[in-house]
Structure 1
Protein backbone atom coordinates (compact mmCIF):
# COMPACT_ATOMS: atom_id res chain seq x y z
CA UNK A 1 0.00 0.00 0.00
CA UNK A 2 1.25 3.46 -0.90
CA UNK A 3 2.50 5.56 2.00
CA UNK A 4 1.34 9.14 1.44
CA UNK A 5 3.46 10.63 4.23
CA UNK A 6 6.00 12.07 1.79
CA UNK A 7 3.22 13.74 -0.23
CA UNK A 8 1.73 15.16 2.96
CA UNK A 9 5.11 16.56 3.96
CA UNK A 10 5.41 18.14 0.50
CA UNK A 11 1.95 19.67 0.99
CA UNK A 12 3.17 21.14 4.28
CA UNK A 13 6.11 22.75 2.45
CA UNK A 14 3.72 24.18 -0.14
CA UNK A 15 1.60 25.68 2.62
CA UNK A 16 4.72 27.25 4.13
CA UNK A 17 5.54 28.74 0.73
CA UNK A 18 2.04 30.21 0.49
CA UNK A 19 2.32 31.64 4.00
CA UNK A 20 5.59 33.40 3.10
CA UNK A 21 4.09 34.76 -0.11
CA UNK A 22 0.94 35.94 1.66
CA UNK A 23 2.98 37.63 4.42
CA UNK A 24 4.93 39.45 1.72
CA UNK A 25 1.68 40.66 0.20
CA UNK A 26 0.39 41.75 3.63
CA UNK A 27 3.53 43.76 4.32
CA UNK A 28 2.76 45.90 1.26
CA UNK A 29 -0.72 46.68 2.63
CA UNK A 30 0.06 47.39 6.27
CA UNK A 31 -0.16 51.21 5.93
CA UNK A 32 -3.80 51.17 4.86
CA UNK A 33 -6.40 52.72 7.20
CA UNK A 34 -8.21 50.34 9.53
CA UNK A 35 -11.48 50.65 7.63
CA UNK A 36 -13.75 47.99 6.26
CA UNK A 37 -15.46 47.84 2.90
CA UNK A 38 -19.11 47.19 2.15
CA UNK A 39 -19.47 45.88 -1.39
CA UNK A 40 -22.62 45.11 -3.37
CA UNK A 41 -23.83 44.82 -6.93
CA UNK A 42 -26.87 46.86 -7.95
CA UNK A 43 -28.34 46.48 -11.43
CA UNK A 44 -25.11 44.97 -12.66
CA UNK A 45 -22.91 47.72 -11.20
CA UNK A 46 -20.48 47.19 -8.33
CA UNK A 47 -20.78 49.68 -5.48
CA UNK A 48 -18.35 50.17 -2.60
CA UNK A 49 -18.54 51.96 0.74
CA UNK A 50 -15.78 52.61 3.23
CA UNK A 51 -16.93 51.58 6.70
CA UNK A 52 -15.54 53.03 9.93
CA UNK A 53 -15.13 49.97 12.16
CA UNK A 54 -15.70 51.95 15.37
CA UNK A 55 -18.79 53.97 14.44
CA UNK A 56 -20.10 51.81 11.62
CA UNK A 57 -20.51 54.93 9.48
CA UNK A 58 -20.44 54.30 5.73
CA UNK A 59 -19.02 56.63 3.10
CA UNK A 60 -19.60 56.02 -0.58
CA UNK A 61 -16.35 55.38 -2.42
CA UNK A 62 -16.33 56.73 -5.93
CA UNK A 63 -13.78 56.22 -8.67
CA UNK A 64 -11.32 58.52 -6.93
CA UNK A 65 -11.10 56.05 -4.04
CA UNK A 66 -10.96 52.91 -6.15
CA UNK A 67 -7.25 52.28 -5.40
CA UNK A 68 -7.92 52.52 -1.65
CA UNK A 69 -10.90 50.18 -1.96
CA UNK A 70 -8.80 47.66 -3.88
CA UNK A 71 -6.10 47.78 -1.21
CA UNK A 72 -8.52 47.29 1.70
CA UNK A 73 -10.32 44.40 0.01
CA UNK A 74 -7.01 42.77 -0.91
CA UNK A 75 -5.78 43.22 2.68
CA UNK A 76 -8.95 41.65 4.12
CA UNK A 77 -8.59 38.74 1.72
CA UNK A 78 -4.92 38.29 2.65
CA UNK A 79 -5.78 38.32 6.35
CA UNK A 80 -8.42 35.62 5.77
CA UNK A 81 -5.88 33.58 3.78
CA UNK A 82 -3.32 33.97 6.56
CA UNK A 83 -5.78 32.67 9.13
CA UNK A 84 -6.86 29.74 6.96
CA UNK A 85 -3.30 28.71 6.04
CA UNK A 86 -2.20 28.83 9.68
CA UNK A 87 -5.15 26.63 10.63
CA UNK A 88 -4.50 24.14 7.82
CA UNK A 89 -0.81 24.00 8.67
CA UNK A 90 -1.52 23.25 12.29
CA UNK A 91 -4.01 20.51 11.44
CA UNK A 92 -1.78 18.93 8.81
CA UNK A 93 1.26 19.00 11.08
CA UNK A 94 -0.69 17.21 13.81
CA UNK A 95 -1.96 14.62 11.31
CA UNK A 96 1.49 13.90 9.88
CA UNK A 97 2.87 13.41 13.38
CA UNK A 98 0.35 10.63 13.96
CA UNK A 99 0.07 9.16 10.45
CA UNK A 100 2.26 6.37 9.12
CA UNK A 101 0.64 3.56 7.16
CA UNK A 102 3.88 1.56 7.49
CA UNK A 103 2.80 0.80 11.05
CA UNK A 104 0.40 -1.74 9.54
CA UNK A 105 3.27 -3.50 7.74
CA UNK A 106 5.32 -3.38 10.95
CA UNK A 107 2.71 -5.49 12.74
CA UNK A 108 3.67 -8.39 10.47
CA UNK A 109 7.38 -7.61 10.27
CA UNK A 110 7.67 -7.63 14.07
CA UNK A 111 5.99 -11.02 14.51
CA UNK A 112 8.10 -13.95 15.71
CA UNK A 113 9.21 -16.17 12.82
CA UNK A 114 6.90 -19.01 13.84
CA UNK A 115 3.88 -16.69 13.68
CA UNK A 116 5.01 -15.23 10.34
CA UNK A 117 4.84 -18.73 8.89
CA UNK A 118 1.14 -18.86 9.79
CA UNK A 119 -0.07 -15.31 9.15
CA UNK A 120 -1.20 -14.13 5.73
CA UNK A 121 -0.29 -10.40 5.89
CA UNK A 122 -2.83 -7.85 4.66
CA UNK A 123 0.02 -5.83 3.08
CA UNK A 124 2.58 -7.97 1.29
CA UNK A 125 6.10 -7.43 2.66
CA UNK A 126 8.42 -5.46 0.40
CA UNK A 127 10.90 -8.26 -0.27
CA UNK A 128 8.18 -10.74 -1.19
CA UNK A 129 6.43 -8.17 -3.39
CA UNK A 130 9.69 -7.43 -5.27
CA UNK A 131 10.39 -11.13 -5.75
CA UNK A 132 6.92 -11.71 -7.23
CA UNK A 133 7.24 -8.58 -9.38
CA UNK A 134 10.52 -9.78 -10.88
CA UNK A 135 8.88 -13.08 -11.75
CA UNK A 136 5.89 -11.30 -13.27
CA UNK A 137 8.14 -9.21 -15.53
CA UNK A 138 10.87 -11.56 -16.77
CA UNK A 139 13.73 -9.91 -18.63
CA UNK A 140 15.77 -10.76 -21.72
CA UNK A 141 12.68 -11.64 -23.75
CA UNK A 142 13.88 -10.03 -26.98
CA UNK A 143 15.01 -12.68 -29.47
CA UNK A 144 16.80 -10.09 -31.62
CA UNK A 145 19.95 -11.87 -32.82
CA UNK A 146 22.45 -9.23 -31.71
CA UNK A 147 23.83 -10.19 -28.30
CA UNK A 148 24.59 -7.68 -25.60
CA UNK A 149 28.15 -6.40 -25.56
CA UNK A 150 28.21 -4.51 -22.27
CA UNK A 151 27.89 -6.05 -18.82
CA UNK A 152 26.01 -4.12 -16.15
CA UNK A 153 26.78 -4.06 -12.45
CA UNK A 154 23.98 -6.60 -12.00
CA UNK A 155 25.66 -8.97 -14.44
CA UNK A 156 23.28 -8.88 -17.42
CA UNK A 157 24.48 -8.09 -20.91
CA UNK A 158 22.98 -5.04 -22.65
CA UNK A 159 23.36 -3.77 -26.19
CA UNK A 160 24.78 -0.29 -25.68
CA UNK A 161 26.89 1.80 -23.32
CA UNK A 162 23.88 4.03 -22.70
CA UNK A 163 21.74 1.07 -21.62
CA UNK A 164 24.54 0.09 -19.24
CA UNK A 165 24.52 3.63 -17.83
CA UNK A 166 20.76 3.41 -17.22
CA UNK A 167 20.95 -0.10 -15.73
CA UNK A 168 23.82 0.85 -13.42
CA UNK A 169 21.96 3.98 -12.30
CA UNK A 170 18.89 1.89 -11.46
CA UNK A 171 21.11 -0.50 -9.52
CA UNK A 172 22.80 2.43 -7.75
CA UNK A 173 19.43 3.60 -6.38
CA UNK A 174 18.25 0.05 -5.56
CA UNK A 175 15.41 0.19 -8.08
CA UNK A 176 14.23 -3.30 -9.09
CA UNK A 177 14.29 -3.63 -12.89
CA UNK A 178 14.36 -6.07 -15.77
CA UNK A 179 16.07 -5.62 -19.13
CA UNK A 180 14.03 -6.08 -22.31
CA UNK A 181 10.80 -7.55 -20.90
CA UNK A 182 7.87 -8.27 -23.21
CA UNK A 183 4.68 -6.20 -23.41
CA UNK A 184 1.60 -6.52 -25.62
CA UNK A 185 0.43 -3.23 -27.12
CA UNK A 186 -2.81 -3.99 -28.89
CA UNK A 187 -1.89 -6.49 -31.61
CA UNK A 188 1.84 -5.77 -31.33
CA UNK A 189 4.47 -7.35 -29.13
CA UNK A 190 7.29 -5.02 -28.13
CA UNK A 191 10.34 -5.20 -25.92
CA UNK A 192 10.96 -2.05 -23.85
CA UNK A 193 14.55 -1.40 -22.90
CA UNK A 194 13.65 -1.64 -19.20
CA UNK A 195 10.78 -2.16 -16.84
CA UNK A 196 11.28 -0.76 -13.33
CA UNK A 197 9.42 -0.77 -10.04
CA UNK A 198 8.80 2.18 -7.75
CA UNK A 199 8.96 0.30 -4.45
CA UNK A 200 7.33 3.11 -2.49
CA UNK A 201 4.22 3.33 -4.68
CA UNK A 202 4.48 -0.21 -6.13
CA UNK A 203 3.97 1.25 -9.58
CA UNK A 204 5.46 -0.40 -12.67
CA UNK A 205 7.12 1.96 -15.15
CA UNK A 206 8.65 1.23 -18.55
CA UNK A 207 11.78 2.92 -19.89
CA UNK A 208 12.73 3.46 -23.51
CA UNK A 209 16.09 4.86 -24.55
CA UNK A 210 16.23 6.32 -28.05
CA UNK A 211 19.85 6.08 -29.01
CA UNK A 212 20.10 7.51 -32.54
CA UNK A 213 17.38 10.14 -32.79
CA UNK A 214 19.27 11.97 -35.55
CA UNK A 215 18.48 9.05 -37.90
CA UNK A 216 15.15 9.85 -39.59
CA UNK A 217 14.11 6.23 -40.13
CA UNK A 218 14.97 5.30 -36.53
CA UNK A 219 13.24 8.39 -35.12
CA UNK A 220 10.07 7.75 -37.19
CA UNK A 221 9.94 4.12 -36.08
CA UNK A 222 10.27 5.05 -32.42
CA UNK A 223 7.81 7.92 -32.73
CA UNK A 224 5.20 5.37 -33.84
CA UNK A 225 6.29 3.08 -31.00
CA UNK A 226 5.71 5.84 -28.42
CA UNK A 227 2.33 6.59 -30.02
CA UNK A 228 1.52 2.90 -29.56
CA UNK A 229 2.34 3.12 -25.87
CA UNK A 230 0.08 6.11 -25.34
CA UNK A 231 -2.80 4.73 -27.42
CA UNK A 232 -2.77 1.72 -25.14
CA UNK A 233 -2.78 3.72 -21.91
CA UNK A 234 0.95 3.99 -21.13
CA UNK A 235 1.47 7.74 -20.94
CA UNK A 236 4.86 9.42 -21.19
CA UNK A 237 5.77 10.92 -17.82
CA UNK A 238 3.38 8.66 -15.95
CA UNK A 239 3.90 5.07 -17.12
CA UNK A 240 6.79 5.58 -19.52
CA UNK A 241 10.21 7.22 -19.12
CA UNK A 242 12.07 8.28 -22.25
CA UNK A 243 15.72 9.21 -22.63
CA UNK A 244 17.35 10.24 -25.92
CA UNK A 245 20.73 10.86 -27.43
CA UNK A 246 22.54 11.46 -30.70
CA UNK A 247 26.18 11.53 -31.79
CA UNK A 248 26.26 15.26 -31.04
CA UNK A 249 24.32 15.03 -27.75
CA UNK A 250 25.21 11.88 -25.78
CA UNK A 251 23.13 10.56 -22.91
CA UNK A 252 23.07 12.84 -19.86
CA UNK A 253 23.86 10.78 -16.76
CA UNK A 254 22.59 13.49 -14.42
CA UNK A 255 19.28 13.57 -16.29
CA UNK A 256 19.02 9.78 -16.01
CA UNK A 257 19.46 10.00 -12.24
CA UNK A 258 17.02 12.92 -12.04
CA UNK A 259 14.34 10.83 -13.78
CA UNK A 260 14.99 7.92 -11.44
CA UNK A 261 14.55 10.20 -8.42
CA UNK A 262 11.41 11.75 -9.90
CA UNK A 263 9.58 8.61 -11.03
CA UNK A 264 11.09 5.63 -9.22
CA UNK A 265 11.98 6.69 -5.66
Structure 2
Protein backbone atom coordinates (compact mmCIF):
# COMPACT_ATOMS: atom_id res chain seq x y z
CA UNK A 1 0.00 0.00 0.00
CA UNK A 2 1.38 3.39 -1.03
CA UNK A 3 0.89 5.80 1.87
CA UNK A 4 2.46 8.96 0.38
CA UNK A 5 3.35 10.22 -3.11
CA UNK A 6 6.93 11.23 -2.33
CA UNK A 7 9.32 9.78 0.25
CA UNK A 8 11.44 12.24 2.27
CA UNK A 9 14.85 12.86 0.69
CA UNK A 10 17.69 10.94 2.34
CA UNK A 11 20.53 12.18 0.15
CA UNK A 12 21.72 15.08 2.32
CA UNK A 13 22.79 12.93 5.27
CA UNK A 14 24.40 10.39 2.93
CA UNK A 15 26.29 13.13 1.07
CA UNK A 16 27.47 14.72 4.30
CA UNK A 17 28.84 11.36 5.45
CA UNK A 18 30.48 10.75 2.05
CA UNK A 19 32.04 14.22 2.18
CA UNK A 20 33.50 13.42 5.58
CA UNK A 21 34.84 10.07 4.32
CA UNK A 22 36.34 11.63 1.17
CA UNK A 23 38.16 14.29 3.17
CA UNK A 24 39.62 11.61 5.44
CA UNK A 25 40.76 9.61 2.40
CA UNK A 26 42.36 12.69 0.82
CA UNK A 27 44.26 13.49 3.99
CA UNK A 28 45.46 9.89 4.25
CA UNK A 29 46.60 9.87 0.60
CA UNK A 30 48.69 12.99 1.12
CA UNK A 31 50.37 11.47 4.16
CA UNK A 32 51.17 8.22 2.35
CA UNK A 33 52.66 9.91 -0.71
CA UNK A 34 55.22 11.77 1.42
CA UNK A 35 56.96 8.47 2.20
CA UNK A 36 56.84 7.04 -1.35
CA UNK A 37 59.78 7.30 -3.82
CA UNK A 38 60.11 10.29 -6.13
CA UNK A 39 59.18 9.87 -9.78
CA UNK A 40 56.70 7.66 -11.61
CA UNK A 41 56.37 4.17 -13.06
CA UNK A 42 56.39 3.19 -16.72
CA UNK A 43 55.10 -0.26 -17.69
CA UNK A 44 56.22 -1.74 -21.00
CA UNK A 45 55.33 -5.04 -22.70
CA UNK A 46 58.11 -6.86 -24.52
CA UNK A 47 57.43 -10.29 -26.00
CA UNK A 48 54.41 -10.76 -23.70
CA UNK A 49 56.61 -9.90 -20.71
CA UNK A 50 56.02 -6.91 -18.44
CA UNK A 51 58.96 -4.58 -17.77
CA UNK A 52 59.02 -1.73 -15.28
CA UNK A 53 60.91 1.55 -15.57
CA UNK A 54 61.50 4.30 -13.02
CA UNK A 55 60.80 7.73 -14.53
CA UNK A 56 62.71 10.17 -12.34
CA UNK A 57 62.66 13.34 -14.46
CA UNK A 58 59.59 15.03 -15.98
CA UNK A 59 59.53 14.63 -19.73
CA UNK A 60 61.81 11.58 -19.70
CA UNK A 61 60.27 8.76 -21.73
CA UNK A 62 62.76 5.93 -21.18
CA UNK A 63 63.47 5.77 -17.47
CA UNK A 64 65.66 3.38 -15.49
CA UNK A 65 64.92 -0.34 -15.79
CA UNK A 66 63.68 -1.92 -12.54
CA UNK A 67 64.91 -5.52 -12.17
CA UNK A 68 62.72 -8.25 -10.66
CA UNK A 69 64.73 -8.08 -7.44
CA UNK A 70 63.39 -4.52 -6.96
CA UNK A 71 59.76 -5.20 -7.78
CA UNK A 72 58.82 -3.59 -4.45
CA UNK A 73 60.06 -0.27 -5.89
CA UNK A 74 57.76 -0.75 -8.88
CA UNK A 75 54.87 -1.47 -6.53
CA UNK A 76 55.56 1.71 -4.54
CA UNK A 77 55.71 3.83 -7.70
CA UNK A 78 52.53 2.24 -9.05
CA UNK A 79 50.77 2.94 -5.75
CA UNK A 80 52.01 6.53 -5.80
CA UNK A 81 50.73 7.08 -9.34
CA UNK A 82 47.38 5.60 -8.35
CA UNK A 83 47.24 7.75 -5.21
CA UNK A 84 47.91 10.93 -7.19
CA UNK A 85 45.18 10.19 -9.73
CA UNK A 86 42.79 9.14 -6.98
CA UNK A 87 43.49 12.32 -5.01
CA UNK A 88 42.56 14.40 -8.05
CA UNK A 89 39.25 12.55 -8.44
CA UNK A 90 38.53 12.78 -4.72
CA UNK A 91 39.15 16.55 -4.77
CA UNK A 92 36.74 16.92 -7.70
CA UNK A 93 34.01 14.98 -5.90
CA UNK A 94 34.58 16.93 -2.68
CA UNK A 95 34.09 20.16 -4.62
CA UNK A 96 30.94 18.88 -6.31
CA UNK A 97 29.38 17.75 -3.03
CA UNK A 98 30.27 21.00 -1.25
CA UNK A 99 28.73 23.04 -4.08
CA UNK A 100 25.58 20.94 -3.93
CA UNK A 101 25.25 21.23 -0.16
CA UNK A 102 25.68 25.00 -0.38
CA UNK A 103 23.09 25.37 -3.13
CA UNK A 104 19.97 27.41 -2.53
CA UNK A 105 17.51 24.54 -2.86
CA UNK A 106 17.84 22.01 -0.07
CA UNK A 107 16.38 18.55 -0.47
CA UNK A 108 14.43 18.94 2.77
CA UNK A 109 12.48 22.02 1.66
CA UNK A 110 9.60 20.02 0.16
CA UNK A 111 8.85 18.21 3.42
CA UNK A 112 9.51 21.34 5.50
CA UNK A 113 6.91 23.24 3.46
CA UNK A 114 4.09 21.21 4.99
CA UNK A 115 5.68 20.85 8.43
CA UNK A 116 5.99 24.62 8.71
CA UNK A 117 2.25 25.22 8.27
CA UNK A 118 -0.08 25.76 11.20
CA UNK A 119 -2.16 22.71 12.27
CA UNK A 120 -5.38 24.31 10.99
CA UNK A 121 -3.95 24.73 7.50
CA UNK A 122 -2.32 21.28 7.58
CA UNK A 123 -5.72 19.70 8.22
CA UNK A 124 -7.03 21.12 4.92
CA UNK A 125 -4.12 19.89 2.78
CA UNK A 126 -3.10 16.52 1.31
CA UNK A 127 0.71 16.76 1.22
CA UNK A 128 2.88 14.72 -1.14
CA UNK A 129 5.21 13.95 1.79
CA UNK A 130 3.85 13.19 5.24
CA UNK A 131 5.53 13.95 8.53
CA UNK A 132 7.15 10.93 10.19
CA UNK A 133 4.37 10.84 12.79
CA UNK A 134 1.67 10.93 10.11
CA UNK A 135 3.34 8.22 8.06
CA UNK A 136 3.72 5.96 11.11
CA UNK A 137 0.07 6.49 12.03
CA UNK A 138 -1.10 5.57 8.51
CA UNK A 139 1.20 2.52 8.48
CA UNK A 140 -0.28 1.30 11.75
CA UNK A 141 -3.84 1.49 10.41
CA UNK A 142 -3.38 -1.65 8.30
CA UNK A 143 -5.33 -4.63 9.65
CA UNK A 144 -4.30 -8.27 9.22
CA UNK A 145 -4.95 -11.76 10.48
CA UNK A 146 -1.94 -13.30 12.16
CA UNK A 147 -1.20 -16.94 12.76
CA UNK A 148 -3.76 -18.65 15.00
CA UNK A 149 -2.66 -19.65 18.49
CA UNK A 150 -3.24 -23.26 19.46
CA UNK A 151 -5.35 -23.97 22.55
CA UNK A 152 -2.35 -25.15 24.56
CA UNK A 153 -0.04 -22.28 23.54
CA UNK A 154 1.46 -20.44 26.54
CA UNK A 155 0.31 -16.92 27.31
CA UNK A 156 2.91 -14.21 26.84
CA UNK A 157 1.75 -10.59 26.63
CA UNK A 158 3.43 -7.25 26.03
CA UNK A 159 2.71 -4.12 28.03
CA UNK A 160 0.25 -3.22 25.24
CA UNK A 161 -1.58 -6.51 25.83
CA UNK A 162 -0.39 -8.09 22.58
CA UNK A 163 -0.20 -11.84 22.78
CA UNK A 164 3.03 -13.42 21.57
CA UNK A 165 4.52 -16.90 21.35
CA UNK A 166 7.62 -16.51 23.51
CA UNK A 167 9.25 -14.42 26.20
CA UNK A 168 11.94 -13.43 23.71
CA UNK A 169 9.36 -12.05 21.28
CA UNK A 170 7.90 -9.99 24.11
CA UNK A 171 11.37 -8.62 24.87
CA UNK A 172 11.89 -7.71 21.19
CA UNK A 173 8.46 -6.04 21.01
CA UNK A 174 9.07 -4.05 24.18
CA UNK A 175 12.46 -2.92 22.87
CA UNK A 176 10.91 -1.81 19.58
CA UNK A 177 8.26 0.11 21.50
CA UNK A 178 10.92 1.77 23.66
CA UNK A 179 12.65 3.04 20.52
CA UNK A 180 9.29 4.04 18.99
CA UNK A 181 9.67 1.67 16.04
CA UNK A 182 6.28 0.72 14.52
CA UNK A 183 5.80 -2.99 13.95
CA UNK A 184 3.22 -5.59 12.95
CA UNK A 185 3.35 -8.93 14.72
CA UNK A 186 3.11 -12.00 12.48
CA UNK A 187 2.04 -10.05 9.41
CA UNK A 188 1.40 -12.66 6.67
CA UNK A 189 3.86 -12.85 3.80
CA UNK A 190 3.29 -14.79 0.57
CA UNK A 191 6.46 -16.27 -0.94
CA UNK A 192 7.30 -18.72 -3.71
CA UNK A 193 9.71 -21.62 -3.50
CA UNK A 194 12.07 -21.80 -6.46
CA UNK A 195 11.04 -25.36 -7.36
CA UNK A 196 7.30 -24.87 -6.85
CA UNK A 197 4.65 -22.82 -8.65
CA UNK A 198 2.35 -22.35 -5.66
CA UNK A 199 2.80 -19.66 -3.06
CA UNK A 200 3.45 -20.42 0.59
CA UNK A 201 2.28 -18.12 3.37
CA UNK A 202 4.60 -17.54 6.30
CA UNK A 203 4.23 -15.34 9.35
CA UNK A 204 7.46 -13.45 10.14
CA UNK A 205 7.79 -12.60 13.80
CA UNK A 206 7.72 -8.87 13.09
CA UNK A 207 7.38 -6.49 10.18
CA UNK A 208 9.15 -3.28 11.27
CA UNK A 209 9.18 0.22 9.81
CA UNK A 210 12.09 2.63 9.64
CA UNK A 211 10.00 5.78 9.78
CA UNK A 212 12.77 8.08 8.52
CA UNK A 213 13.58 6.08 5.37
CA UNK A 214 10.15 4.42 4.96
CA UNK A 215 11.93 1.05 4.62
CA UNK A 216 10.26 -2.09 5.93
CA UNK A 217 12.20 -4.96 7.50
CA UNK A 218 11.03 -8.43 8.45
CA UNK A 219 12.48 -9.57 11.77
CA UNK A 220 12.87 -13.25 12.48
CA UNK A 221 13.97 -14.48 15.89
CA UNK A 222 15.33 -18.02 15.96
CA UNK A 223 15.21 -19.09 19.56
CA UNK A 224 16.24 -22.77 19.63
CA UNK A 225 19.52 -22.87 17.73
CA UNK A 226 20.82 -25.82 19.76
CA UNK A 227 18.02 -28.05 18.38
CA UNK A 228 19.25 -29.76 15.16
CA UNK A 229 15.75 -30.13 13.66
CA UNK A 230 14.96 -26.49 14.43
CA UNK A 231 18.23 -25.42 12.78
CA UNK A 232 17.27 -27.30 9.60
CA UNK A 233 13.89 -25.53 9.54
CA UNK A 234 15.69 -22.22 10.06
CA UNK A 235 18.00 -22.88 7.11
CA UNK A 236 15.01 -23.75 4.94
CA UNK A 237 13.20 -20.58 5.97
CA UNK A 238 16.21 -18.35 5.29
CA UNK A 239 16.60 -19.99 1.90
CA UNK A 240 12.96 -19.21 1.14
CA UNK A 241 13.53 -15.54 1.96
CA UNK A 242 16.61 -15.41 -0.29
CA UNK A 243 14.76 -17.10 -3.17
CA UNK A 244 12.28 -14.21 -3.00
CA UNK A 245 14.89 -11.44 -2.97
CA UNK A 246 14.76 -10.76 0.78
CA UNK A 247 18.28 -10.92 2.19
CA UNK A 248 19.68 -10.71 5.73
CA UNK A 249 20.58 -7.08 6.31
CA UNK A 250 18.53 -6.00 3.30
CA UNK A 251 14.89 -6.35 4.22
CA UNK A 252 15.50 -9.02 6.85
CA UNK A 253 16.76 -8.70 10.42
CA UNK A 254 17.80 -11.86 12.27
CA UNK A 255 18.30 -12.53 15.97
CA UNK A 256 19.12 -15.87 17.57
CA UNK A 257 19.55 -17.65 20.87
CA UNK A 258 20.09 -21.13 22.26
CA UNK A 259 19.96 -22.87 25.62
CA UNK A 260 23.39 -21.51 26.51
CA UNK A 261 23.44 -18.23 24.55
CA UNK A 262 20.48 -16.16 25.66
CA UNK A 263 18.95 -13.11 24.01
CA UNK A 264 21.09 -10.03 24.65
CA UNK A 265 19.04 -6.84 24.86
CA UNK A 266 22.11 -4.80 23.95
CA UNK A 267 22.32 -6.74 20.68
CA UNK A 268 18.64 -5.96 20.06
CA UNK A 269 19.34 -2.27 20.56
CA UNK A 270 22.29 -2.43 18.16
CA UNK A 271 20.10 -4.03 15.49
CA UNK A 272 17.39 -1.42 15.98
CA UNK A 273 19.83 1.49 15.82
CA UNK A 274 21.50 0.09 12.71
CA UNK A 275 18.38 -0.72 10.68
CA UNK A 276 15.31 0.95 12.14
CA UNK A 277 16.10 4.46 13.40
Distance in 1 (alpha carbons) for counterparts of 2:56 and 2:210: 59
Q: Which residue number in structure 2 is paired with residue 209 of structure 1?
A: 221
| C-alpha spacing 1:166/1:55, structure 2 compared with 1 (3 Å) | closer
Aligned pair 1:26/2:30, yes or no? no
Could you say what secondary structure the match of 1:144 adopts?
Answer: coil
Query: How far apart are 1:49 and its partner, in Å?
Result: 5.2
Query: How far apart are 1:165 and its partner, in Å?
Result: 1.5
| C-alpha spacing 1:140/1:55, structure 2 compared with 1 (3 Å) | closer
Comparing 200-209 and 44-53, the one that deviates more: 44-53
Q: Which residue number in structure 1 is paired with residue 79 of structure 2?
A: 74
Q: Which residue number in structure 2 is paired with residue 83 of structure 1?
A: 88
Aligned pair 1:5/2:17, yes or no? no
Distance in 2 (alpha carbons) for counterparts of 1:67 and 1:243: 46
Q: Which residue number in structure 2 is paired with residue 262 of structure 1?
A: 274
Query: How far apart are 1:3 and its partner, in Å?
Result: 1.3
Distance in 2 (alpha carbons) for counterparts of 1:116 and 1:125: 11
Query: How far apart are 1:162 and its partner, in Å?
Result: 0.9
RMSD (Å) for aligned C-alpha atoms: 3.0
Q: Gaps (5+ residues) in structure 1? A: none
| C-alpha spacing 1:36/1:116, structure 2 compared with 1 (3 Å) | same
Query: How far apart are 1:50 and its partner, in Å?
Result: 4.9
Comparing 241-250 and 11-20, the one that deviates more: 11-20
TM-score (norm 1): 0.82
Distance in 2 (alpha carbons) for counterparts of 1:148 and 1:100: 53
Could you say what secondary structure the match of 2:248 adopts?
Answer: coil
Distance in 1 (alpha carbons) for counterparts of 2:154 and 2:141: 22
Residue pair 1:209, 1:244 contacting (<8 A) in 2 also: yes
Q: Gaps (5+ residues) in structure 2? A: 1-6, 193-198
**Aligned positions of 1:179-258 closer than 5 A:** 179-186=185-192, 187-258=199-270
Q: Which residue number in structure 2 is paired with residue 132 of structure 1?
A: 138
| C-alpha spacing 1:76/1:222, structure 2 compared with 1 (3 Å) | closer
Distance in 2 (alpha carbons) for counterparts of 1:181 and 1:65: 64
Deviation by residue 1:218-265 (Cα, 9 ceiling, x = unmatched)? 333333233222223322221111111111111122221111122112
Aligned residues: 261
Distance in 2 (alpha carbons) for counterparts of 1:226 and 1:52: 57
Residue pair 1:38, 1:51 contacting (<8 A) in 2 also: yes
Distance in 2 (alpha carbons) for counterparts of 1:207 and 1:69: 51
Q: Which residue number in structure 1 is paired with residue 65 of structure 2?
A: 61
The structure 1 segments of at least 4 consecutive aligned residues displaced by more than 6 Å after TM superposition are none
